[in-house]
Chains A and B, each alone.
Chain A
Amino acid sequence: MSHTFFSRALAAALACATLGLVVPGRTFAADQSPIVIGATISQTGSYAVDAKYALEGYQLWIKEQNAKGGLLGRKIELKTYDDASDPATAVSLYERLIDQDHVDFIVGPYSSAITAAVANVAEKHKMPMISPEVSAAAPFSRGLHYIFMGISQSTHYVEGAIAIAKANGYKRVAITGEDSAFPRSIAGALPDITKAAGLEVVYSELYPHNASDYSAVVAKIKESNADALLSISYFPDAIGMLRALKQANVAPKLVYFAVGPTELNFGKEAGKDADGVLATTNWSANLKTPNNAEFASDFSTTYGTPADYHAAANYASLEVLGAAILHAKALDQEKVRDFMANTKMRTVLGNYEVDPATGLQLGYTSLTLQWQGGKQYIVAPAAMAERKAIVPFADWSKR
């Protein structure tokens, strides 16, 4: 009997001691431990190249902010996993970040397709997720309340190229691109946009991811006698399409490849064939936005390569999250959500403003750039243009 009593007393004493130690210990730790922000990034798989910039954008902001003392007196830490460019993997990793790693906030992954999948996880856990790498409108029409678009809407991407086509009287438009979420979101909206501009779509067809050949698509573009080619392409397919055009000796008067040629190494891998190609970016080191010049120079010194729009968009999204946390004065998911939904603020990317009901981006715009003499120049919109667009796209025999 006394034995039982003794062990119970001991257990109770131990429990008290443990609680007494641990409870204040936890409170103590919560004040000093870093604020953890979780995300997945495609470090392998087909998105790996661009996603590297996205990750570095996140990392740079956190590094700079920590140098300034962090947020609410606490350091900030980024916890990331590699989603292997796969939406299903990303979904389970976000669950892990929230359920097992207990991160304080989440931010968006790379690509529209993966963000669309992960948005449901954010919604389920009621954690606001600002997403710098989703430009497709589709995830924002599902009645979700916790996801915010941190980059220009993809339907704005082609506006510059269409304006150039219209100004030069290029009426016949061929539309193509990779058959995946982001290109489809643009290509799907193009018939309306081109019609509004008074242009005629004479060919429209998407090609599959990792296509082994583009000559059949080019043969159809040739048959359609299009003046302008709007191809919503990533890097490898932009190179593939450009080569197929050249080998078939087909030179539409305007050639636009969406985001493939936005990457700086397009000029190196495509060589002189890049000249005249139009593309879209959402950011330039020359933009007169707050802190932009410092961001651009810090990025190149830290990572040894110039920043691109992915890096800028991810950096800008953390600017918004940081402002939201400061505004909430606590790690309060609802207050942060409301701030993201309703605030208007300037970031390195431009004017952040979303539709409070859907989270769709309204403030940020797109820039159209053109390869000229082996370099990229902004050619539209006119207010931000560094050079005039050179059209028509030179005939292959005259290069």
Chain B
Amino acid sequence: MHLELAAQLTIDGLLLGGVFALAALGLNVIFGVTRIVNLAHGEIIVLAALCASVAFQQRGITPIAMLPFAFVGGAVLGAILERIVFQRLPSDPAGAETTSLLLTFGVAYFIVGFSLAVFTGDFRSTPYLTSGLQLGPISIGESRLVAFVAAIAIAGALAVLLRATPIGRALRAASQNLEGARACGIDIGRMRTISFALGSGVAAAAGSLFSMIYAVNPDSGSQFTLLSFSVVALGGLGSYAGTLLGAAILGLAVSFAGFFGSAQLGQVMPYVIFIAVLLFRPNGILGKGAA
């Protein structure tokens, strides 16, 4: 293998890792506090991608300009969903697990139906930043570079928010010890709403950028949910640095396995690694409680 090819595959893999990380961060935020695996996560991403595509084609608003709107829109949607639907789950996390899977699955169906009614089944995409930057023999996809930078920025912002602000401390307390946090006067219900708003906002921001990378229709959500879940499981549930690391590993695995193995192997790599992690390191690489 010549050096240029190795460099190109590494860059492709890392950029793809950025895309994966962006998809997974929101899922991790919600899980961290509520212990709910939000199966409607991919549908929120897709809904935002569809909105971004329509905004670009009808109003010329770029997905990057859409980011703040997507974040706020996603956050409001997440908060409403939590207040109306998820708040009714039993507060005991263990008892809520099965119910929450069914409930979020149902919400996913609802969002698909809603998106189909509004956007039809057509595939949509945003033809913006589709070029590659040429650095000597290496090319770097612009839209992927944006997704990569956004993933790192969002992970950084989340880390600062959680460590350096009172709300962040309360969120962390709620995620580490529910009863203890409640005893200290933290409003657990409010923390759950905030985490849903935050996670859904990040998912919607990701979706807005994904419209430059993928063509999606309302049925495309589950592939993002699955992918996000394997990234989060690899990196460790609740760990943002782990999400970045897990996504980078998966991106590189897809890129190299896709080239040296086959396109099929590239596609199944996330799940192969996912199963391996479950077997040998069930808490993820940087997961809480890892040895």
Contact = CB atoms under 8 A, between A and B. Distances in A.
A269 B215 contact: yes
Contacts of B90: none
B262 A205 contact: yes
A213 B124 contact: no
A213 B266 contact: yes
A249 B134 contact: yes
Contact of B130 (A49, A176, A247): A247
A213 B223 contact: no
A206 B265 CA distance: 11
Interface in A256-274: 265, 268-273
A221 B280 CA distance: 36
B12 A49 contact: no
The interface centre, meaning the residue of B256, B257, B263, B264 with most chain A CB atoms within 10 A of its CB, is B263
B124 A269 contact: yes
A246 B131 contact: yes
A9 interface: no
Q: What is the predominant secondary structure among interface residues of chain A facing chain B?
A: helix
A219 B5 contact: yes
B110 to A, nearest CB: 14
B141 A247 contact: yes
Contacts of B263: 176, 179, 205-208, 211, 216-217
A219 B267 contact: no
Interface in B105-158: 116, 121-125, 127, 130-132, 134, 139-144
Interface in A193-242: 205-208, 210-213, 215-217, 219-220, 223, 235-236, 239-240
Interface residues of A, number: 40
Name the residue among B12, B20, B220 with the largest chain A CB count within 10 angstroms.
B12
B158 to A, nearest CB: 23
A343 interface: no
Given A48-B121, A236-B214, A240-B214, A212 B267 contact: yes
B2 to A, nearest CB: 10
A396 interface: yes
A236 B123 contact: yes
A212 B262 contact: no
Contacts of A270: 125, 127
Given A216-B12, A235-B123, A249 B57 contact: no
A396 B258 contact: no
Interface in B244-291: 254-259, 262-264, 266-268, 270
A205 B266 CA distance: 12
Contact of A249 (B122, B132, B270): B132
Contacts of B124: 269
Given A268-B57, A396-B131, A219 B9 contact: yes
Nearest to B127: A271
A286 interface: no
Interface string B174-202: 00000000000000000000000000000
B132 A265 contact: no
A215 B116 CA distance: 30
A272 B128 CA distance: 10
A45 interface: yes
Interface string B203-219: 00000000001111101
Contacts of A273: 127, 130
A371 B5 CA distance: 32
Given A208-B263, A215-B258, A217-B263, 19 more contacts: A45-B219, A207-B267, A210-B223, A212-B254, A216-B9, A216-B256, A216-B266, A219-B5, A219-B8, A223-B5, A235-B215, A240-B215, A243-B143, A246-B130, A246-B132, A247-B140, A247-B141, A268-B57, A270-B127
21 contacts: A45-B219, A46-B219, A49-B121, A49-B122, A208-B263, A208-B268, A210-B220, A211-B263, A211-B267, A213-B12, A213-B266, A216-B12, A219-B12, A219-B259, A235-B123, A236-B217, A239-B125, A246-B131, A249-B132, A268-B57, A271-B127
| Pairs of residues from A and B, 4 with the lowest C-beta to C-beta distance, nearest first | A216-B258, A271-B127, A247-B141, A239-B215
Interface of A: 44-46, 48-49, 52, 176, 179, 205-208, 210-213, 215-217, 219-220, 223, 235-236, 239-240, 243-244, 246-249, 265, 268-273, 396
